[in-house]
Amino acid sequence: MSLFLQASELARDLVAVIEGFEDTERKKAAQARALTLSIEQKTITEKLLALRQKICALLDGAADQECTDLIAVDILFEASEKLRGSFFGQERAESEEVLIKKCRAIFEKNDISDALWFRAFVILSFYFQPFELPLLKNVKDLSVNAFKAYLLFTMRQPHLMTQEDEGRYIRYYKELTSWLLDLMQKTEEGSRQNILHQAIKNKLTFGACFYVDCSTIDLIKARAAILGELVRQNPALDVLSRRKLPVRAVGRKKKLGLLSRNLKDYTDTRALYALFSGFDLRDYDIYWYSLDVVDETCRENSSFDSKISELAHKAVSLRGDAAQKAQQIIADDLDFLVIGTAYSFSAKDFDQLLALRLARVQVNLSALISGSSGLASYDYYIVSQASPEIASVYRRESTETLKTIEGPLICYERKEKVLPSKNITRAALGIPEEAVLYFSGAAVNKQMAPTLHAFLSILREVQGSYLLFAPFSPTWGGYFLALTFLARLRFVMKDFPDIDPKRIIVVHAVDPDDFERLIQLSDVCLGSFPRDGVTVAMQALHYGKPLIARAEKWLHANQDALMLRSLGQEDLIGTDNAAVAARAIRLGRDPVLRQKTAQNIAQRVEKAPFFDVKKQSSKMAALFEEMVEEKNIR
């Protein structure tokens, strides 16, 4: 049997075992109605280990054979991507270390051989992150399949396990985007160019810009350059990018477009509605565009549907590719277009759509998109007012003109509180009733290693306390995403050997109501940083729970602290990670202070600006009138 038939069979076996393993775990959890994941769970069976050893042996022998076709690489990539999350952070076998050293030498020597690449791609994908290896200077001699496989390897989303990884990620992605841009401009028409475009569209993601604790403006600009080249090389988009705006008809209403993920009863959609619900419809026609991205967190709500219908002059779902979606928006001759979703921060069709001039004035909204677009098509970025020092950081980190609103920018219509449930209890989670319970409900991508380190330092200092994580939802769940989070958590836990793992609870994805019930069980809620939680923070305050937040420093971390300031709770805001931990420790050790803080929040939240829809919407309307004057929209 040929090398590649062997590789294909092994890869398919591996995928089957992994998918079967995931399915089995899900069924077991469903049957047991298990709420939690075990931090010490053994995730890899003997069968997986045996298959993995066979793949390593096969790849080790591949270097000695002449190979002309790498079709099995794609299959092995798919399998090893999942394996990587399972093994990350565990000890490497000595024999594998030898293989990895050989593979590193291949990269460093820049010696191009299909047999060597076949071996290097997949072995490295088990443990290595893309930024740990130098980029190849020359890929023109690679076979088409090897070229595709190498591109996929370079664009793997890294697992950021330490603070140092964040800086390395930024530096690597700056180098990668420059390399890709050069490759795009030099690659001739044909299969390689198509492979390059598809790889960039499907795999290149800049999402970590929203989560790292360092400057990202260079990376944001690099993404804009990639999008610009993709638009230029797409004839349909290139034509649209060069079009001239039509002359605006005099005397008509101002046309304001809102673009959201969906039109359902969904957190971001409700927040966008709240911010624009107070606009004077005698002066504005509101056009609402939906991407129709719907998941299990979206609810059917006829009352909210009616509100959308009353506000929107026109509400439509965008269809087709980027050019077709653009044509739908352009046909409405908008004066303003507001982006109200962070659906993607990559190079997908949606991102290419935003790179076009779709309205006379295009606006980015920091409450829902925590970072500058970097795109020349955007004129304004609306942010909350900040101190002069922080405002200067905002300006450095943005390419748009900044417009500011006093206080929190985010705004919600206040909902009824969810009633407790007999299924969501401390007993069901294995948490003593008398224990101080800290809660972190930030999404898994916001649970960065430095954040987890700060949280565990709190747990170590507050005797008998527990830490409850709810980082998943029906939208971002899945067994292997959970493995990635657990690997990062275990990595950080190595610095805290004195903490009993039983004091750390990680729950499976739960529905929105049960998520709020988890908040109700807690004593102190921990805001996320450097990317703030926003919605989770609002929910914690809604239930009168003390919330600990970090003072704003970046554009992607300014709402949690502002919500606390608006309630007069400056004492719950830390200026850095250590200060955040210190405030949480103080609350955990002092039950009287904890109770008093909760009472203060419960009293003040009734008049919180982030629940005052009418006032916040009027502020937004006034801001748009400023833009009307500046851009001469008559």
E-assigned strand segments in 169-279: 254-260
Task: Tell the CATH topology of 238-411+614-631.
Answer: Rossmann fold (3.40.50)
Confidence of residue 64 (pLDDT cuts 50, 70, 90): low
- Only one residue has tokens 């998520």, namely 515
Continuous segment of H or E residues that includes residue 565:
helix 559-566
Q: For residue 274, what are the CA distances in angstroms to 258, 309, 409, 609?
A: 12, 14, 11, 12
Under DSSP, the state recorded for 572 is G
- 470: amino acid identity, one letter: A
CB-based contact 344:316 (threshold 8 Å):
no
Q: Which residues contact 165 (CB under 8 A, 6 or more apart)?
A: 129, 131, 158, 159, 449
Closest CA to 120 of 142, 88, 89, 140: 142
Rg of the chain over Cα atoms, rounded to whole angstroms, equals 26
Continuous segment of H or E residues that includes residue 227:
helix 217-232
C-alpha dihedral over 90, 95, 98, 102, to 10 degrees? -100
Give 275-289 pLDDT, tens digit per residue.
999 999 999 999 999
Handedness of CA 154, 160, 165, 170 (dihedral sign): positive
For every residue of 279-340, DSSP letters joined together read S-TTTEEEEEEE-----TT-B--HHHHHHHHHH-SEEEE--SSHHHHHHHHHTT--SEEEE-
Q: How many CB atoms lie within 10 A of CB 560?
A: 32
What are 634's two structure tokens? Answer: 């008559």
State residue 407's pLDDT score.
Answer: 82
Give 324-373 pLDDT, tens digit per residue.
999 999 999 999 999 988 778 899 999 999 999 999 999 998 766 778 88
Please state the φ and ψ torsions of residue 338, each to the nearest 5 degrees: -110, 125
CB-based contact 286:276 (threshold 8 Å):
yes
Q: For residue 300, what are the CA distances in angstroms to 66, 156, 264, 294?
A: 59, 36, 7, 11
State residue 132's pLDDT score.
Answer: 78
Q: Tell me the C-alpha distance between 555 and 568, whole Å.
A: 22
Q: How many CB atoms lie within 10 A of CB 164?
A: 10
Give 369-396 pLDDT, tens digit per residue.
778 889 999 999 998 888 888 888 889 9
Q: How many CB atoms lie within 10 A of CB 40?
A: 9
Give 118-168 pLDDT, tens digit per residue.
566 666 666 677 887 778 877 877 777 778 878 888 888 777 777 778 888
State residue 199's pLDDT score.
Answer: 93
Give 570-603 pLDDT, tens digit per residue.
999 999 999 999 999 999 999 999 999 999 999 9
Q: Tell me the C-alpha distance between 107 and 109, whole Å.
A: 6
Mean confidence (pLDDT) of the chain = 84
Confidence of residue 215 (pLDDT cuts 50, 70, 90): confident
Give 530-580 pLDDT, tens digit per residue.
888 888 999 999 999 999 999 877 876 678 999 999 999 999 999 999 999
For every residue of 463-475, DSSP letters joined together read TT-EEEE----SS
Residues in the chain: 634
Give 20-38 pLDDT, tens digit per residue.
655 665 565 555 456 676 6
Give 466-505 pLDDT, tens digit per residue.
999 999 876 665 655 776 788 788 888 989 999 999 999 9
Q: What is the pTM of this model?
A: 0.86
Lowest mean pLDDT among 82-91, 209-218, 313-322: 82-91
Domain boundaries, the chain: 3-156, 238-411+614-631, 426-611
Q: For residue 319, what are the CA distances in angstroms to 77, 316, 450?
A: 32, 9, 41
Q: Tell me the C-alpha distance between 506 and 313, whole Å.
A: 44
- Class of residue 604 by CB neighbours under 10 A (exposed 0-12, middle 13-18, buried 19+): middle
Domains 238-411+614-631 and 426-611 share a fold: yes
Bridge partners, residue 440, by sequence: 469
State residue 54's pLDDT score.
Answer: 72
Q: For residue 17, what are the CA distances in angstroms to 14, 20, 21, 60, 379?
A: 5, 5, 6, 22, 50
What do you get for the CA distance between the two ends of the chain, in Å? 74
Give 158-205 pLDDT, tens digit per residue.
777 777 788 888 889 899 999 999 999 988 778 889 999 999 999 998
Q: Which residues contact 416 (CB under 8 A, 6 or more apart)?
A: none
CA atoms within 13 A on the CB side of 398: 27
Closest CA to 455 of 552, 578, 572, 589: 578
- Class of residue 245 by CB neighbours under 10 A (exposed 0-12, middle 13-18, buried 19+): exposed
% residues pLDDT > 70 (the chain): 78
For the segment(s) 426-611, the CATH number from 3.30.1310.10, 3.20.20.10, 3.40.50.2000, 3.40.50.300 is: 3.40.50.2000
